[in-house]
Amino acid sequence: MPRLLIVEDEPALRRALAINLKARRYDVDAVGDGATALRAAAAVPPDLAIVDLGLPDMDGVDVIAGLRGWTSLPIIVLSAREGQADKVDALDAGADDYVTKPFGMDELLARIRAALRRGGADIAAEPKVITDDFTLDLAAKRAFRGGEEVKLTPTEWHLAEALVRRPGVLVPGTQLLAEVWGPKYERETNYLRVYVAQLRRKLEADPSQPRHFVTEPGLGYRFEP
């Protein structure tokens, strides 16, 4: 499930948000001030941050800027301030969305979904990848084919995720190698051949004629949903 970081100084609202979002099965991390927020985000990068503009220790805009310095995760701003100028400042500092208090939980949830969706983290929100032949539950790390569970090794999972994350898109071999084995392995095309073959053997209905893990000769591999 996507990991959310809530930065809200008012304890009542912080708890309410945390409970509501946890009920929606999000992984929630809730902190009360900007410094703690930046530290928490650095320790375990969340998939999305919800930041209150009115914080005790620093301006919310600075928190946004601090996050934007090193990550591109979606940021939703909460604020009681009605002013246009605040909105503009926050958005230009790098926020992705701005919600004015009081707000409804439904709206916030919808905006979270929208932000995660375009952030690409939405695979986490809907962590089940389903095809005609097999199903991958990325969150639970379980794979099924024809009702039977199939066991994938860690490397196989890593490779499968790298492909499944961009459905229909061609991923160059070098990029897959860098993502799964590290940048130094970009030339070890052997690894790809071996592990793609194993994925196909375990997941495809007919491994010799793969329908979902497709080779684009000379270019890379593609996952077809």
Partner DNA sequence: TTCGAGCGTTAAGAACGCGTCAAGATGTCG
Partner DNA sequence: CGACATCTTGACGCGTTCTTAACGCTCGAA
In the complex, which residues of this chain contact DNA (CB under 7 A)? 151, 153-156, 173, 181, 188-197, 200-201, 207-208, 215, 217-220
142 lies in the binding site for a copy of itself (CB under 8 A): yes
Binding partner at 196 among DNA, a copy of itself, none, C-beta below 5 to 8 Å by kind? DNA
- Tell me the closest approach of the beta carbon of residue 192 to DNA, in angstroms: 7
| Shortest separation between residue 149's beta carbon and a copy of itself, angstroms | 11
Beta carbon of residue 107, minimum distance to a copy of itself (angstroms, whole number): 5
**Residues between 92 and 121 with contacts to a copy of itself, criterion CB under 8 A:** 92, 94-98, 104, 106-107, 109-111, 113-114, 117-119
Residue 9, helix vs strand vs coil: coil
| Closest approach of a copy of itself to the CB of residue 122, in Å | 11
Smallest distance from the beta carbon of 96 to a copy of itself, in angstroms? 6
Least Cα distance to 164 among 99, 101, 221 occurs for 221
Q: Where are the alpha helices (DSSP H) in the chain?
A: 11-23, 34-43, 60-68, 84-93, 105-119, 122-125, 154-164, 173-180, 189-203
- Using DSSP, how many helices (H) and how many strands (E) does the chain show? 9, 12
114, interface contact from DNA, a copy of itself, none, CB < 5-8 Å by kind: a copy of itself
Instruction: Give the nearest distance from C-beta 8 to a copy of itself in angstroms.
Output: 20
Kindly write out the interface string for residues 22-41 of this chain, putting x where it contacts a copy of itself by CB under 8 A and - elsewhere: --------------------
Closest CA to 40 of 72, 3, 69, 65: 3
Question: Token match 């650095």: residue?
Answer: 42
Q: Rounded to whole angstroms, how far apart are CA atoms 157 and 118?
A: 23
Give the three-class secondary structure for 104: coil
**Contact of 177 with 191, CB cutoff 8 Å:** yes
Q: Using CB under 8 A as the criterion, what x/- string covers residues 65-84 for binding a copy of itself?
A: -------x-x---------x
Long-range (24+ apart) CB contacts under 8 A made by 155-161 are 155/180, 155/195, 156/195, 156/198, 156/199, 156/202, 159/192, 159/195, 159/196, 159/199, 160/136, 160/199, 160/203
Please choose which of DNA, a copy of itself, none residue 42 contacts, taking the beta carbon within 5 to 8 angstroms, the exact cut-off set by kind: none
Return residues touching a copy of itself (CB under 8 A): 72, 74, 84-85, 87-88, 91-92, 94-98, 104, 106-107, 109-111, 113-114, 117-119, 139-142, 151, 153-154, 157, 168-170, 216-219, 222
